[in-house]
């Protein structure tokens, strides 16, 4: 920022407000206090054009401000969603942000969230001890992402800690997520990281009120056990009970399959290339585009071996990618056709 924020921020016209979802209390020697409340900040455009509001659920250690803006002062997802015509509800999960934490009410705290962990896990994971196969794809952090990055300090300043009892926290999130939808009606949920269980559990409690879930890098994989974080996803996606068919009275009744140290990754893409011409005349006027380019890549790997399947042009489209064809060829009707549907199987070994 080159000047005071109030001179540079975007001027907006919207309705906005906040409230708490308070459905539980605990009696302490000092008196009765709320337990597990969630803070909800909402904003809506002057004219709401989308049928369902969006509820934004932050990740572990974070708070709702993660959706309000970026550490370098740019607008966040909440702003963009309001501009797109949605009413937006941004929550602080129990014990995070503006939903206060006290160990006498919510139990002991879990692990801290220091600069070093922020860098290794989120902002510069490709160069750190927690690097993973897709870490190099995280390219949007505006600074260096190192522990001494001032923008890492901005991000970590709003971070707290995970509760030591993750299952109890999930149970509170289920109850208060359901209560929120009882108040605002059907909604779309966006969740992130360790906030993903709140989305799954809210949908489990109020299936008719959850119209869609967008889970951003949800905590996992299923049935993950991480002693360092104090997290055990005993119910697959969550630490607290979910509904199964046939019913399961305890996690011990769930059948699990262990795939050792193998990692399964799947990526897909699809893009529409519109109709165009390079120019006019018998050569440049040839039509090009107007097709869907699509593909999928599935990769199963461990630390030494990998097996992959790549399929391109899934719909076997017929189209012209470039109307001028090969530059060393003469004549009319020059085209560069789409490659037909193609499958490739790859095998990699590291020696």
Domains of the chain: 9-113+159-253 (3.40.50.1820), 263-349 (no CATH)
Pick from 221, 103, 214, 243: nearest CA to 169: 103
Is 240 catalytic? The answer is no
Q: What's the pLDDT score for residue 333?
A: 58
Exposure string (b/e) for 8-28, b if CB count within 10 Å is 16 or more? eeeeeeeeeeeeebebeeeee
Q: What's the pLDDT score for residue 78?
A: 96
**Rounded to an integer, what distance in angstroms lies between the CA atom of residue 283 and that of residue 298?**
40
Q: Is the model's pLDDT at 167 over the cut of 50?
A: yes
Confidence of residue 92 (pLDDT cuts 50, 70, 90): very high
Tell me the pTM.
0.73
State the average pLDDT for the chain.
86
Q: With contact defined as beta carbons under 8 Å apart, do 60 and 162 qualify? A: yes
Q: Is the model's pLDDT at 303 over the cut of 60?
A: yes
Q: What's the pLDDT score for residue 40?
A: 98
Strand partners, 124: none
Q: What's the pLDDT score for residue 327?
A: 47
Q: What is the pLDDT of residues 179-230, one digit of tens each?
A: 999 999 999 999 999 999 999 999 999 999 999 999 998 998 888 888 877 8
Q: Hey, how many other C-beta atoms are within 10 angstroms of the C-beta on 54?
A: 23
Q: What's the pLDDT score for residue 135?
A: 83
Q: What percent of the chain has pLDDT over 90?
A: 51
Q: What's the pLDDT score for residue 105?
A: 94
**Rounded to an integer, what distance in angstroms lies between the CA atom of residue 154 and that of residue 164?**
25
Q: What's the pLDDT score for residue 286?
A: 65
Q: What is the pLDDT of residues 234-292, one digit of tens each?
A: 999 999 999 998 888 999 888 765 556 777 767 677 777 776 665 555 555 567 777 78
Exposure string (b/e) for 132-146, b if CB count within 10 Å is 16 or more? eeeeeeeeebebebe
Q: What backbone torsions phi and psi does residue 185 show, to the nearest 5 degrees?
A: 90, -170
Residue of higher predicted confidence among 331 and 113: 113
**Rounded to an integer, what distance in angstroms lies between the CA atom of residue 242 and that of residue 244?**
6
**Rounded to an integer, what distance in angstroms lies between the CA atom of residue 156 and that of residue 118?**
7
Pick from 274, 257, 254: nearest CA to 321: 274
Q: Is the model's pLDDT at 171 over the cut of 90?
A: yes
The dihedral region occupied by 227, where left means phi > 0, alpha psi between -120 and 50, and beta the remainder, is alpha
Peptide bond into 269 cis (omega under 30): no
Q: What's the pLDDT score for residue 290?
A: 76
Q: Hey, how many other C-beta atoms are within 10 angstroms of the C-beta on 237?
A: 21
Kindly state the average pLDDT of the residues 8-31. Answer: 90
Annotated catalytic residue within 119, 125, 193, 240? 193
Q: What backbone torsions phi and psi does residue 181 show, to the nearest 5 degrees?
A: -70, -30
């Amino acid at each position: 920022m080159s000047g005071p924020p109030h001179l540079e921020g975007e001027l907006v016209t919207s309705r906005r407000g906040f409230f708490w979802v308070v459905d539980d209390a605990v009696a302490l020697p000092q008196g009765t206090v709320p337990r597990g409340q969630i803070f909800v900040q909402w904003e809506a455009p002057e004219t709401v054009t989308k049928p369902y509001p969006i509820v934004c659920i932050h990740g572990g250690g974070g708070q709702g401000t993660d959706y309000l803006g970026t550490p370098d002062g740019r607008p966040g997802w909440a702003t963009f969603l309001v501009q797109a015509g949605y009413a937006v509800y941004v929550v602080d999960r129990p014990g995070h942000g503006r939903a206060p934490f006290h160990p006498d009410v919510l139990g002991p705290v879990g692990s801290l969230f220091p600069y070093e962990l922020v860098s290794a896990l989120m902002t510069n994971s490709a160069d750190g001890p927690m690097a993973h196969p897709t870490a190099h794809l995280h390219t949007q952090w505006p600074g260096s992402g190192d522990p001494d990055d001032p923008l890492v300090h901005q991000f970590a300043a709003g971070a707290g800690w995970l509760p030591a009892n993750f299952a109890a926290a999930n149970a509170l999130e289920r109850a208060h997520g359901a209560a929120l939808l009882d108040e605002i009606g059907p909604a779309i949920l966006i969740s992130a990281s360790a906030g993903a269980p709140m989305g799954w559990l809210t949908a489990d409690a109020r299936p008719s009120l959850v119209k869609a879930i967008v889970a951003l890098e949800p905590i996992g994989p299923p049935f993950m056990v991480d002693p360092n974080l104090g997290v055990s996803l005993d119910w697959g996606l969550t630490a607290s009970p979910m509904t199964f068919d046939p019913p399961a009275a305890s996690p011990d009744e769930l059948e699990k399959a262990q795939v050792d140290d193998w990692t399964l990754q799947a990526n897909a893409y699809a893009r529409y290339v519109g109709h165009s011409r390079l120019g006019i005349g018998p050569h440049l006027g040839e039509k090009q585009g107007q097709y869907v380019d699509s593909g999928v890549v599935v990769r199963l790997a461990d630390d030494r071996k990998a097996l992959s399947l790549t399929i391109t042009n899934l719909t076997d489209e017929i189209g012209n990618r470039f109307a001028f064809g090969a530059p060393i060829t003469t004549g009319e009707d020059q085209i560069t056709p789409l490659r037909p549907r193609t499958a490739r199987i790859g095998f990699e070994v590291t020696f």
